[in-house]
């Protein structure tokens, strides 16, 4: 999957599409999903042009990787859903078979209610 500079997250990062921001720093933006699946449903995206987790880990700088992961911890604490609270689910769809819709790395963070078991 190649990076599309006109994907919805790229447009949000450029300020062309508004978002309800949760957290932002030099490397990361987090915002509420416009079509939430749970009581709390936020997205976390790197500000760099990375299509998925594989691309991110092979091309991002060490500081980008560290800040992306640390930001998740900051965000779940801000939302009061960390492991010290009731917990959360974090999901990243990767590639065609993983049902990735937007070619920009993103984590979905769900919480604020019981989520249930995945599988089948």
Query: What is the fold, at CATH topology level, of the domain defined by 8-111?
Result: HIT family, subunit A (3.30.428)
Strands (E), 1-120: 21-24, 28-32, 40-46, 88-91, 107-111
Which pLDDT score, from 0 to 100, does residue 119 have? 55
How does the average pLDDT of the chain come out, rounded? 95
Among all residues, which ones are annotated catalytic?
106
| pLDDT tens sequence across 106-120 | 999 999 999 988 654
Per-residue confidence band for 2, with pLDDT thresholds at 50, 70 and 90: confident
What angle (nearest 5°) sits at the alpha carbon of residue 104, between those of residues 47 and 96?
165
Measured between alpha carbons, how far is residue 43 from residues 2, 19, 120 in Å?
21, 10, 25
> Per-domain residue ranges for the chain?
8-111
Letter string b/e over residues 74-107, b meaning 16 or more CB atoms within 10 A of that residue's CB: bbbeebebbeeeeebeeeeeeeeeeebeebbbbb
pTM (2 d.p.): 0.93
Residue 20 pLDDT > 70 = yes
Residue 87 pLDDT > 90 = yes
Higher pLDDT, 120 or 102: 102
Q: Identify which of 28, 29, 11 has the alpha carbon closest to the alpha carbon of residue 20.
A: 29
Q: Identify which of 22, 24, 2 has the alpha carbon closest to the alpha carbon of residue 13.
A: 24
Higher pLDDT, 21 or 84: 21
Q: What is the DSSP string of 61-86?
A: -HHHHHHHHHHHHHHHHHTT-STTTT
Per-residue confidence band for 19, with pLDDT thresholds at 50, 70 and 90: very high
């Amino acid at each position: 999957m190649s990076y599309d500079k006109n994907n919805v997250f790229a447009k949000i990062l450029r300020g062309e599409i508004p978002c309800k921001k949760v957290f932002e720093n030099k490397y990361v933006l987090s915002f509420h999903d416009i079509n939430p699946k749970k009581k709390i449903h936020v997205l976390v995206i790197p500000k760099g042009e990375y299509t998925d987790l594989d691309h991110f880990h092979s091309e991002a700088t060490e500081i980008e990787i560290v800040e992306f992961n640390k930001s998740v911890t900051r965000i779940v604490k801000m939302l009061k859903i960390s492991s010290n609270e009731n917990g959360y689910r974090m999901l990243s769809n990767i590639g065609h078979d993983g049902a990735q819709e937007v070619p920009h790395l993103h984590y979905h963070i769900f919480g604020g209610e019981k989520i249930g078991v995945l599988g089948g």
